[in-house]
Amino acid sequence: MAQSQGWTRRYFRAFCKGFFVAVPVAVTFLDRVACVARVEGASMQPSLNPGGSQSSDVVLLNHWKVRNFEVQRGDIVSLVSPKNPEQKIIKRVIALEGDIVKTMGHKNRYVKVPRGHIWVEGDHHGHSFDSNSFGPVSLGLLHAHATHILWPPERWQKLESVLPPERLPVQREED
Amino acid sequence: MLRGVLGKTFRLVGYTIQYGCIAHCAFEYVGGVVMCSGPSMEPTIQNSDIVFAENLTRHFYGIQRGDIVIAKSPSDPKSNICKRVIGLEGDKILTNSSSDFFKSHSYVPTGHVWLEGDNLQNSTDSRYYGPIPYGLIRGRIFFKIWPLSDLGFLRDSPNGHRFSDD
């Protein structure tokens, strides 16, 4: 009897020790380093989800790359939706702070991106709820940089940071 | 000798990672101690006061009018601002000083909040940069721990007239 009690207590202590090490490390890794997410919707076609609702792509989200809020034009990023904080949206960065963008469907024809903000758009224009609807978004809402498609296996690839040529900013900050 | 040192180093690194992760989880999901600087929340919070902030309310979307929140600055994501929530989405907000003759109103858009400092004369807030997205809010301040003479839960807004009365 005394032997099995000792075993139970040792097991319990080992479990607690493992739990309090594994859970914080895993949570910190998923919050700060990288995680995966399933993409839903058609706003990034054809780059993501070209098959529509039949097969959703699963992407690798890299938090570590945006820890200092450094993004480049053409990056595909995930951010907290400015219209619904419970939702994350995935779009491409079109312009950085200081650039002047020619908008598509926004109430102003030309918009200068304010300091600390970025302009994001989905690749599928017209089917995308993006900066053309809600304007420039604050960099504080940036969540992660989508770097690879992991699933389905036939679509395994690295996502390139390429700006569609017709969406180049009218004037870049460096000029 | 070398193996002993190596073993000790690995153990130190392991403990640092473990406690760093526990600290991250505590600050991110529970709360932490924050030092506030600046005059924009006087007299409720003075410069260099130390307060307790909790992050549970924001995760459960329970931020209400009158709460003092810490948020990421909309123009500089690396710095934080500390202001009071005056309006939630859909609220009608007076966008200029109440001493102006013509009052101009606007409505807070969905997913956004309107923030103002308690020290209205000396505060750069939503009256300057507009409503900010809810997603920028980091936590809610509810308790002051320094200076000890002012220890306790934080007072209500001295600017009650700024709150919408619908």
What are the pLDDT tens digits along chain B (166 aa)?
788 888 899 999 988 998 899 999 998 889 888 888 888 888 888 888 889 999 988 888 889 899 999 999 999 999 999 999 999 998 888 876 656 677 778 899 999 999 999 888 888 889 889 999 999 999 999 889 888 888 888 877 777 766 654 4
Q: What percent of chain A has pLDDT over 70?
A: 95
- B110/A83 Cβ within 8 A: yes
pLDDT given at position B100: 63
Q: What is the pLDDT of residue B97?
A: 60
Q: Which residues of B touch A85 (CB under 8 A)?
A: 61, 111, 133-135
pLDDT score, position A74: 92
Taking 60 as the threshold, does the pLDDT of residue A175 lie above it?
no
Q: Which of residues 24-63 of B touch A (CB under 8 A)?
A: 24-25, 28, 61
Mean pLDDT of A46-53: 83
A window 18-57, beta carbon within 8 A of B: 20-21, 23-25, 27-29, 31-32
Residue B44 phi/psi, 5° resolution? Answer: -65, -50
Mutate to test the interface with B, among A16, A19, A20, A28 (most CBs of B within 10 A): A28
pLDDT of residue A131: 92
The 3-state DSSP composition of chain B as helix, strand, coil percent (nearest 5) reads 30, 35, 40
Mean pLDDT of chain A: 88
Query: Which candidate in B29, B134, B138 is best for mutational testing of the A interface (most A CBs within 10 A)?
Result: B134
Higher-pLDDT residue of B161, A84: A84
- Three-state secondary structure call for residue A66: helix
Q: Does A84 touch chain B (CB under 8 A)?
A: yes
Whole-number CA gyration radius for chain A: 21
- Annotation says B106 is catalytic: no
Q: What is the mean pLDDT of residues A119-134?
A: 90
CA distance B34 to B48: 10
User: Would you call A91 a catalytic residue per the annotation?
Assistant: yes
pLDDT of residue A28: 92
CB-based contacts of B2: which residues, under 8 Å, 6+ apart? none
Give the whole-angstrom CA distance, residue B110 versus residue B76.
22
Each residue's pLDDT tens digit, B154-166: 877 777 766 654 4
pLDDT at site A49: 87
Instruction: Name the token pair of B145.
Output: 């721990």
Selection from B72, B64, B126, B74 nearest residue B95 by Cα = B126
Residues B75, A48 contacting (CB under 8 angstroms) = no
B74 secondary structure, DSSP code:
T
Contact (Cβ atoms closer than 8 angstroms) between residue A48 and residue A61: no
Number of helices (H), then strands (E), in chain B: 3, 10
What pLDDT is stored for residue A169 in this prediction? Answer: 80
pTM of structure = 0.85
**Whether B133 and A117 lie within 8 Å, measured CB to CB:** no
CA A168 to chain centre: 21
Rounded Cα distance, B33 and B20, in Å: 16
Q: Mean per-residue pLDDT for A146-151?
A: 91
Q: Dump strand ranges (E) for A12-171.
A: 34-38, 58-62, 76-80, 88-95, 100-102, 110-112, 117-121, 137-138, 142-151, 157-158
Q: How far apart are CA A20 and CA A90, in angstroms?
A: 33
Mean pLDDT of A22-42: 91
Q: Name the burial class of residue A97, with classes exposed (0-12), middle (13-18) and buried (19+) by CB atoms within 10 angstroms of its CB.
A: middle
Helix ranges, A38-152 (H): 131-134
Report yes or no: A117 at the B interface, CB cutoff 8 Å. Answer: yes
pLDDT given for residue B166 in this prediction: 44
Write down the pLDDT at residue B58: 86
Q: What is the pLDDT of residue A90?
A: 94
